[in-house]
Amino acid sequence: MTAAVWWEPEASDGAARTGILHTPHGDVPTPAFMPVGTRGVVRALGSDDLEALGVDILLANTYHLMLRPGAEVVAALGGLHAMMGWTGPVLTDSGGYQVFSLDPEVSEEGVRFRSSYDGTTFGLNPEAAVAVQEALGADIAMALDVLVGLPAPRERVAAAMEQTVRWAQRSIWARRRDDRALFGIVQGGTDAELRVRSADATAALGFDGYGIGGLAVGESVAERNAAIETVVAALPAAAPRYVMGLGDTEGLFDAVARGADLFDCVIPTRLARHGKVLHPDGDYSIKLVRWAVSTEPLQQECGCTTCGRYSRGYLRHLFATREITGPRLVTIHNLHYTLTLMKTMRRAIRTGQFAATHTAMVKRRRRNRVSSGEPAAT
């Protein structure tokens, strides 16, 4: 039987690689960034906006959707794709990150937690996480894992990793839909030996792809990069590798340089709602007085609809007057910036210029940042 989701290699440049992720709702060129549609929506945008931006794949959140409106409601509306009016692929996380941020009661069976909406107690286990995601109709579902914030004692990290592996096996057994994919998650903190053990055990279960979890939770950049490199070396080369929760410019380049294929993060959209603009010279705040009479776009030669029509001065005015259009327009820019970054990396890999492109990016951002953390005004 042909897998519902599979990754086809295309080109490589060192450890960095490009390929095509085939899914039931379309193909995704990798490396790829997934905008986060937590509750079945990327905040401030509609699916038509996402199509116009050239988004290839979205991420939605199992925890939030199982609570509001509920998996049964989403299913009754035809699944996530029909509910959102979105025709492209969707990956759903298992809800593990959100649940563990609520300090749940953890047992071998699963977790019990209080809803962040109304305080009602809920339970979630590996079987339920798979069932909910299958009801949502996700192209790619994630196995439930046990997350540990860093730094943490090695014994705690090891115990969480081993429980994640046991839950991964239960997730495989719980799978009912063969027309969708299921990814396992590798844990182990920043400990190389634990990461290898986790990767080996998870890969042995035969998932369709693999998430690299437990990062961007307090470790240093060097520790994160070392963990990614260790895990990638231990995973099957033919399977997609997904670094969960990573989305800053330097982080994306670092992870792609080590062979990662998929990413998600709230950075482009969350920062936009606070007036933070992503820029190749260094990210900056549009709220500053210095932009009050600026007629320049957010970024020269950007190509997004925001930069093609609106000035920094106008956008600052929207934020100063708390107009909801301001966050929407900066969200469009920030997502365009991030998606363009991925296109740049794919092109550089195909032409054998990835290392040079990576180095040039680092130098540009370091050179143009001023002491306040803002880019030059030009």
Query: CA 8, CA 238: separation in Å to the nearest integer?
Result: 8
Separation between Cα atoms, residue 89 and residue 334, nearest integer Å: 21
Active site residue 191: no
pLDDT in tens, 144-184: 999 888 899 999 999 999 999 999 999 999 999 999 999 99
Distances in Å between the Cα of 13 and the Cα atoms of 83, 253, 346 are 40, 13, 10
pLDDT value of position 161:
97
pLDDT of residue 316: 98
What pLDDT, on a 0 to 100 scale, did the predictor assign at position 149? 86
User: How confident is the model at residue 100, as a pLDDT?
Assistant: 78
Phi, psi dihedral angles at 328 (to 5 degrees): -60, -45
Tell me the domain boundaries of the chain: 6-265, 272-368
Fold for the domain defined by 6-265: TIM Barrel (3.20.20)
Residue 92: per-residue pLDDT: 98
Q: How far apart, in whole angstroms, are the C-alpha atoms of residue 234 and residue 166?
A: 19
Spans in the chain with pLDDT lower than 50:
1, 370-373, 377-378
Catalytic residue from among 93, 208, 248, 281: 93
Instruction: Supply the pTM of this predicted model.
Output: 0.95
Identify whether 93 is a catalytic site residue. Answer: yes
- Residue in 191, 264, 281, 283 annotated catalytic: 264
Sheet with 111-114: list strands edge to edge. 105-106, 111-114, 121-124
Q: What CA–CA distance (Å, rounded) separates 39 from 354?
A: 35
